[in-house]
Amino acid sequence: MKFTLPKLNFTFDALEPNIDAQTVETHYTKHHQGYMDNFQILVDKYPELKNLTAEKILTDLEKLNINNIDRTKLKNMGGGYLNHNIYWSNLNPNNTKDKNLIKKINRDFGSIKKFKEQFTQLATTLFGSGWVWLVEKSDGKLDIYQLPNQDSPLTLGHKPILALDVWEHAYYLKYKNKRIDYINAWWNLIKLI
Ligand SMILES: [Fe+2]
């Protein structure tokens, strides 16, 4: 499988002033690209992985017949690749509101306001590097949680819906240590709700 970076349907400066152009460009062309390149190198080491999608590799990570050092690397690099795919797709300025998702959020969190408060709380309190996720579980219920590093909800058997990257590389150039300002700016870009 030859992995590719998803083409951004927007220019690097399209998320201004919420996320600055330099951050978007560096995040996409250096960080995201780097995860994908390293993931490709790892996958190419194992003939049994070569026909699997990145999603399948992350979903079946614990079952793969590979050494544990490479399993950890696949988790980090494959997660870094797929997590950022979701991050950019969430931020596409052409997105429109998803009425079905809004209905499910209201059902499972009580209201959009409560959902945003809980999600923001998780994003502000995440210690170190990681992501906050809105996922759908196998029973159809939504959940939100923090995951460290580049761990993927796929490995937990959950379908990722909304991804907030709170690694410092996602905001530090503009927001420095003010993570909460980045989180609030990120919400301005989320058209799903
Ligand atoms: Fe990132």
Q: Does residue 15 form part of some domain?
A: no
Among 91, 117, 139, the domain-final residue is 91
Q: What are phi and psi of 87, to 5 degrees?
A: -55, -50
Asked if residue 124 is part of any domain, the answer here is: yes
Overall average pLDDT of the 85-99 stretch: 96
Averaged pLDDT for residues 139-167: 98
Distance 107 CA to ligand 1 centre (A): 30
Q: Is the pLDDT of residue 59 over 90?
A: yes
Going across the sheet that includes 130-136, the strands are: 142-148, 130-136, 159-165
Distance (Å) from CA 152 to ligand 1 centroid: 13
d(CA 80, CA 35): 5
Residue 34 CA to ligand 1 center (angstroms) comes to: 11
13 part of a folded domain: no
Say if residue 116 is in the same domain as residue 163.
yes
Shortest CA distance to 170 belongs to which of 14, 31, 35, 73?
31
Task: Note whether residue 33 is domain-resident.
Answer: yes
Q: Are 71 and 122 found together in one domain?
A: no
Dist. CA 32 → ligand 1 center (Å): 7
Same domain, residue pair 128 and 166:
yes
Residue 163 CB burial class (10 angstroms; 0-12, 13-18, ≥19): buried
Residue 193: predicted pLDDT: 78
Please tell me the distance from the alpha carbon of residue 36 to that of residue 18, in angstroms, as a whole number.
Answer: 26
pLDDT above 90: residue 1: no
Q: Are residues 120 and 179 in the same domain?
A: yes
Which residue, of 91, 121, 139, is where some domain finishes?
91
- Which structural domain range is residue 108 located in? 99-189
Residue 182 C-alpha to ligand 1 middle, in angstroms? 13
Number of domains in the chain: 2
Domain boundary among 69, 91, 113: 91
Rounded to the nearest angstrom, the distance between the alpha carbon of 38 and the centre of ligand 1 is 15
Cα 110 to averaged position of ligand 1 atoms, centre (Å): 30
Distance of CA 93 to the CA centre of its chain: 17
